[in-house]
Structure 1
Amino acid sequence: MKRSTRAEMVARRWLLLLLSLAAATGVLRVGGQGGAPDKTGFVSIDCGLPEKSSYVDGATKLEFTSDAVFTDAGTNHNVSAEYATASTTADRIFYNLRSFPAGGGAARNCYTLPSVVPGSKYLVRAKFMYGNYDGLNKPPAFDLHLGVNFWQTVTVPSADWLGIAEVIAFVPDESVQVCLVNTGTGTPFISGLELRPLTSSLYQHANATQGLVLLDRRNFGAGGSTAVRYPDDPYDRVWSPWSNPAEWSEISTTDKIQNTIAPLFVVPSVVMQTAVTPRNSSKAIDFSWDVKPNHVYPDPGMFFILYISELELLAGNAVRQFNVTIDGVIWTKGPYKPIYLSTDSLYNAEAYRGIRQYNFSMNAAGSSTLPPIINAAEAFSVISTANVGTDAQDVSAITAIKAKYQVKKNWMGDPCAPKSLAWDGLTCNYAISTPPRITSINMSYCGLSGDISPDFANLKEIKYLDSSHNNLTGSIPNVLSQLPFLTVLDLTGNQLNGSIPSGLLKRIQDGSLNLRYGNNPNLCSNSSSCQPTPKKSKSMLAVYVAVPVVVIGALAALLFFFMRKKKGSFFAWPTKSTEKPQILESGMQPHRQDDNEQSLEQLQNRQFTYKELEVITKNFQLLLGRGGFGLVYDGFLKDGTHVAVKLKSESSNQGFDEFLTEAQTLTKIHHKNLVSLIGYCKDQKYLALVYEHMSEGTLEDKLRGKDSNAGSLTWRQRLRIALESAQGLEYLHKACSPPFVHRDVKTSNILLNAKLEAKIADFGLMKAFKYDGDTHISTARVVGTHGYLAPEYATALQVTEKIDVYSFGVVLLEVITGQPPIVKCPEPTSIIQWARQRLARGSIEGVVDARMRGGHYDINSVWKVADMALKCTAQAPVKRPTISDVVVQLKECLELEEGSTSDDTSGSCYMVGNSIDRNSSYNTYATDVSQGSTTFEMEDNFGTAPTKDTCPDAR
């Protein structure tokens, strides 16, 4: 259990109460039994309400409480009297607020809200009305964060503006923090906070790595009605009425609307009971949404959901069918026909970008006798929630230290993340795949009093601890000696007493710790109590060292004499080496090279002139292919070495700097499963790269391209190619320092030589990790290929090694199925979703490439690779294996295949470690088919939910 500040401890008591209620009533029931919907887990806060105050909202009957127990910063205010009136708002929550002036030194101030079930999905809503509470009549602007992730910028346009910020996101921990960040454009404030638990099946666009920020939520045809929320909506979503009497007619029904799309969205029946149609039946229903860019997301991704139900029982030959377009582009796959008294939805599977205003138009189809209809709609922008907070143990320890010493610094929110808001005096380590860890604390001259907190000993990664020049009393705890990485402990200028503990004395003696403890009058009053155990005298040490040295020297001389006499009998004494040392970039470790690459090593780093390239390629006679860098030509060096020459095109996006980065980096990387760069050309305007030639082309061609009819690859060949490709990626991720992320792993970048040995190609897209201002690495643009992009990279530009793992999972599915990453079946579908649907049926035959079905393969190894591929393509990066894990599994699969002696595999069972029933194992994928799609073109992104699988089996 974490120790925390008063606000956090009270919030924790709330959590325990909520957990007890959840256990007693059943966690997160959507509906009560004969009464109002279950509100277990609801947190409703009126910010600025006096401590211990509460009231029941007249409309929702929900109890709102003071925010005093959820934060320990800020000051309470009432809005000016002119704004606390029913003419401005009838919502009592806007009449007071809490502000966070910068005078306290904190750029970030946070609320800590409890979650009922860690790892669940929640709706978090913040409310704002400035109301000229400070008399300055200067509406501010500031940032809002959800934990360590940016949420949105709050820009207040006027004193009477009623602002609502809402996000749907996963909460991985037992609490979530909502933080207001001062950006220098006014004092942050907040009027209200609400937390509402959602079932995990709702809004599947929101996952572990991305959240949905509400742009708009509308109830069409509600006319003069008020907004619909709890208890009509069990999740307390707010559905605002939207009408346009000049253009739209409103229709309604009192019949209950069946929620046939549950559990995807669960729209309240009262919302679906109203709708609009155009007054002129020959016209369309037109509406639009403006995108709201900000400094973090200048081009935010957008999701839209339209909810439709037929409210009229159509008689005779009446038909209602219509098409939906966005900016004139067809959105629906064909004329859409609403279902009578049944909720249906239209939505995009992938985020849209690049448009500032999305104009929707619903037009009657040619055969329709009735105009279009719409009942409700939602619009969301996408934010990344992939950034992770500080290690939980470190957070618990530093929070307890903060509470003990009542630290008055800017210690609010997460200690380390984001990096730009890390706590004063703390230094953190930002690793690639693990949460940040605290490595240094400077609390000197902070007015600390009392004893040294034992919680310091829970900061297991700390290297430097400075608590000097305070008023610390008591003895030095021996538990500090157990900190494995602590190298400096500064306790100078305190009021400590007693002696130095034996554990610290031992660390001092072995040289692993520098302890500074001067100016502590009562410490080490007995001088012997602070002295380490005496070391051996220098004279004895010299004896201990000298004797072995003399003996070893004599033996070496005898050995040298013996070898000179017997020269050549056992091995030759080496002559002076003529091998040049390998020159590496700063920080890059040497790379080992296999014996079969010695000839290529001799050619490494060669710089060619353009005229030499003309000779090598016979004036660029034979074109091998075309890539993002430029055209690739066939060629031969003077010694007969077969090469491929990549000549930079004029239209290439890569400039001079990118070229030099690629050339200088690639000439230093050598591995048997990476295509070797022999040399490069930088001759005036000409830039080119010279690679070893791979005679058998790409894996893509072997699977389904120009070489696919030359004889299909066997399963054993495919397995070996997959393993060798994974080994190449493993080298980039693990052996290079710093590690590299390829960012464009695909079958066309896996090349094969004459022996069908696989090598990873095209490292021009690789970028070394550079620790910028956050816990993860952001890049300026997406570099990669449609169908292979990991969701956190495609939507939020988050780059870790796990995006290569995701892409490689797609490659594995291609190896098994022979299908492309986007399967035409008949509508474009991600191969991940396509495979999940079939594997959920419990049969591997539904996905295996038809050209392998007549061959021999061990069904266990195919199941194992399929399972691994789906794990690699998990939505959450933390759930994906490392590429090293993949290598281990592929080796086991190859062993299974090579050990198979029976042609009859019908009786085989799927095994990973222990024997598992294949059907029960793959039934889990049936509920996860929607997670596979990654990036479709706009016209291919929409359809009704749920979609019935009508695609054909594999070839």
Structure 2
Amino acid sequence: MENAVVGLIVVAGTSVAVAALCLLLAFLCRRHSSKSRLKPCSRQRCCSAAAGSTLPVSVSDGMTPDYLSWSFYSTTAEASLQKLSLADLAAATGGFSPDNIIGDGSFGFVYRAVLPDGAAVAVKRLSGDCDAGAGNREFRAELEVLGSLSHSNLARLLGYCADGRDRILVYELLERGSLDAWLHGGDADDSGGTGTLPWPARLRVARGAAAALEFLHHGRRPPVLHRDVKSSNVLLSEGFEAKLADFGLARIIRGSPAKSHVSTQAAGTVGYVAPEIWDGVGATTMADVYSFGVLLIEIVTGKRPSWPIKASIGDKEVNLVDWTREKIHAGQAWEILDRRMGIQSQGTEMEEAKGLLEIARRCIDSAAKNRPTMEDVVAMLNKV
């Protein structure tokens, strides 16, 4: 009898031990499974929390890492991410139809596009082959920073698509078009025809573009070089507020303090490029200042910087910068004003135009060290 009781106790104890072991194993497995399911949510929360500094990236599936099609947005942490594929953008631009081109330059065409949600945007398709390796990764990293920039005089970079060797930038659309179109003719219109940009609007544009460059150079760390300041990259809002656009060439300035102001990659557009760039010195903030000085001359004269001009002496062809220097030095600023503005030889507007040309003269100094900073330029423009 006693042996039977002992046997029952042993069996019962063994059963309890086995059951406890099974429960423990089940608990551990469930805990591990729960942790695994929580990982993606945890990463997503981390990504959203950091959206203000590092923009979230959405990636299309089924592509190799070096040829990803992805986009990022300057949005709040709670905003839903869209995925922009090359096919999406092709559809939005009518297959990159020439009929939808609203701008062009040495680095690609800009198209008017309507996204699936009905939003109208400007899409720039960069021309030329792009490195799909390390250069592509560097380009992405810089665009993430550029996409986070926020200033009233910067056209907002909404997204980016990389597919194979295609590189596409998506910007907010500004219906007034570019300063280039208003100065030199194009699709910009006012009451059904291409209008002449009056002097008050030109002065407003000059101040706005200067404020944008001041922000890029001095309003953030590390600074940003634009490297392609020109009238076609100055877009206009309904109130003719200037917004500097096209950061496809921009570079974040990194490195030691001694080299932190230099970008070794030459870039720019003929007529606007600082002389030191042609000498192989490399782009600096002072090169942007030079390009801005040329832009001021273009605003006042209404002439393209890339077109030669007949000089008054001997009908020799010279470039716009040399021609302007000669006229300012001779005290003949009145002769180079855009006649379409109707500015009189005497009066407030004439004095303002002369003020802009004097600022331009300082910006286009052949020696980079003698040029003012964009902070100085903004201060001078505010006194005009």
The answer to whether TM tops 0.5 is yes
Q: 1:871 to 1:639 in 2, by over 3 A?
A: same
When the two structures are aligned, how many residues end up with a matched partner? 303
Runs of 4+ in 1 over 6 A off after TM superposition: none
Q: Residue 334 of structure 2 is aligned with which of 845, 857, 874?
A: 845
Please say if residues 228 and 267 of structure 2, whose CA atoms lie closer than 8 Å, have aligned partners that are also in contact. yes
Change in Cα spacing, 1:793 to 1:701, as seen in structure 2 (3 Å) is same
Mapped pair 1:582 → 2:48: no
- 2:122 aligns to what? 644
Name the aligned partner's letter for residue 718 of structure 1: R
1:390-419 per-position Cα deviation (integer Å, ceiling 9, x unaligned): xxxxxxxxxxxxxxxxxxxxxxxxxxxxxx
- The residue aligned with 1:859 is 350
Q: Does 1:824 align with 2:315?
A: no
> How far does the alpha carbon of each residue in 1:80-113 deviate from its partner, in whole angstroms, 9 at most, with x for none?
xxxxxxxxxxxxxxxxxxxxxxxxxxxxxxxxxx
Mapped to 1, the partners of 2:257 and 2:146 lie a distance apart of 27
Deviations 1:493-535, CA, capped at 9 Å, x for gaps: xxxxxxxxxxxxxxxxxxxxxxxxxxxxxxxxxxxxxxxxxxx
Residue of structure 2 aligned with 1:736, choices 220, 237, 255: 220
- Contact 1:781–1:797 (Cα < 8 Å) also in 2: no
Shift of 1:800: 2.4
Note the aligned Cα RMSD (angstroms): 3.0
Cα distance between partner residues in 2 of 1:694 and 1:874: 33
Which residue identity lines up with residue 721 of structure 1 in the other structure? Answer: V
More helix by share: 2
The 1:837/1:624 distance shift into structure 2, 3 A limit, reads same
CA 1:649 to 1:802, structure 2 compared with 1: closer, same or farther past 3 Å? closer
Residue by residue, what CA displacement relative to the aligned partner does 1:879-900 show, whole Å, maximum 9, x if unpaired?
211111111222222xxxxxxx
Q: What is the CA deviation profile of residues 265-288 of structure 1, one whole-angstrom value per residue up to 9, with x for unaligned ones? A: xxxxxxxxxxxxxxxxxxxxxxxx
Structure 2: any 5+ residue segments left out of the alignment?
1-47, 56-72
Contact 2:294 2:305 in 1 (8 A): yes
Q: CA offset at residue 728 of structure 1?
A: 0.7
**Which of 846-855 and 703-712 deviates more?**
703-712
Distance 1:860 1:784, change over 3 A: same
Aligned to 2:269, which of 756, 780, 785? 785
Cα 1:824–1:661, aligned 2, differ >3 Å: closer, same or farther? farther
1:608 maps to 2:84:
yes
Matched, 1:836 2:325: yes
Residue 610 to residue 832, structure 1, CA distance change in 2 (3 Å): closer
- Cα displacement string for residues 409-449 of structure 1 (whole angstroms, at most 9, x for unaligned residues): xxxxxxxxxxxxxxxxxxxxxxxxxxxxxxxxxxxxxxxxx
Cα distance per residue 1:665-714 (max 9 Å; x no partner): 22211111111111222345544221111222221121113258712111
From 129, 143, 154, give the equivalent of 1:663: 143
Pairwise CA distance, 1:658: 5.2
Given candidates 258, 281, 285, the residue that maps to 1:797 is 281
Partner of 1:427: none
Is this contact kept in 2: 1:624–1:633, CA < 8 A?
yes
Structure-to-structure mapping, 1:274-285, within 5 angstroms: none
1:713 to 2:197 alignment: yes
Partner of residue 745, structure 1: 229
TM alignment of 1:295-444, pairs within 5 A:
none
The corresponding residue for 1:619 is: 95
Q: Secondary structure at the match of 2:279?
A: helix
**For 1:789 and 1:649, how far apart are their aligned partners in 2?**
20
Provide, for residues 639-676 of structure 1, a one-character-per-residue CA deviation record: whole Å limited to 9, x for no partner. Answer: 43210122344545796235413531222111111111
The 8 Å contact of residues 614 and 620 in structure 1, kept in 2 or not, is answered as yes
Pair 818,691 (structure 1): closer, same or farther in 2 beyond 3 Å: same
Q: In the superposition, relative to structure 1, how do residues 686 and 765 fare at CA in structure 2: closer, same or farther (>3 Å)?
A: closer
1:701 equivalent in structure 2: 181
Aligned with 2:235: secondary structure?
strand
Distance in 2 of aligned mates of 1:681 and 1:759: 22
One-letter code aligned to 1:644: A
Corresponding residue SS for 2:124: strand
- Unpaired runs of at least 5, structure 1: 1-578, 587-598, 894-955
One-letter code aligned to 1:669:
L
Please give the secondary structure, in 2, of the residue aligned with 1:710.
coil
Q: TM-score, normalised by structure 1?
A: 0.30
CA drift of 1:776 comes to 6.7
Q: Structure 2: how far apart are the matches of 1:604 and 1:834?
A: 53
User: SS of 2:272's equivalent?
Assistant: coil
1:688 aligns with 2:168: yes
Q: What is the aligned partner in structure 2 of residue 246 from structure 1? A: none
CA positional deviation for 1:723: 0.4
Structure 1 residues 777 and 617, CA gap change in structure 2 (3 angstroms)? same
Provide closer, same or farther for how the CA distance between residues 673 and 606 of structure 1 changes in structure 2, counting only shifts above 3 A.
Answer: farther
The two structures have a TM-score, normalised by structure 2, of 0.70
**Whole-Å separation in 2 of the counterparts to 1:693 and 1:853:** 31
Query: Which structure shows the higher strand fraction?
Result: 1
Cα deviation, residue 780, structure 1: 4.2
State the partner residue of 1:42.
none
- Give secondary structure in 2 for the equivalent of 1:796: coil
Cα distance in 2 for residues equivalent to 1:623 and 1:700: 15
- Secondary structure of 2:248 counterpart: helix
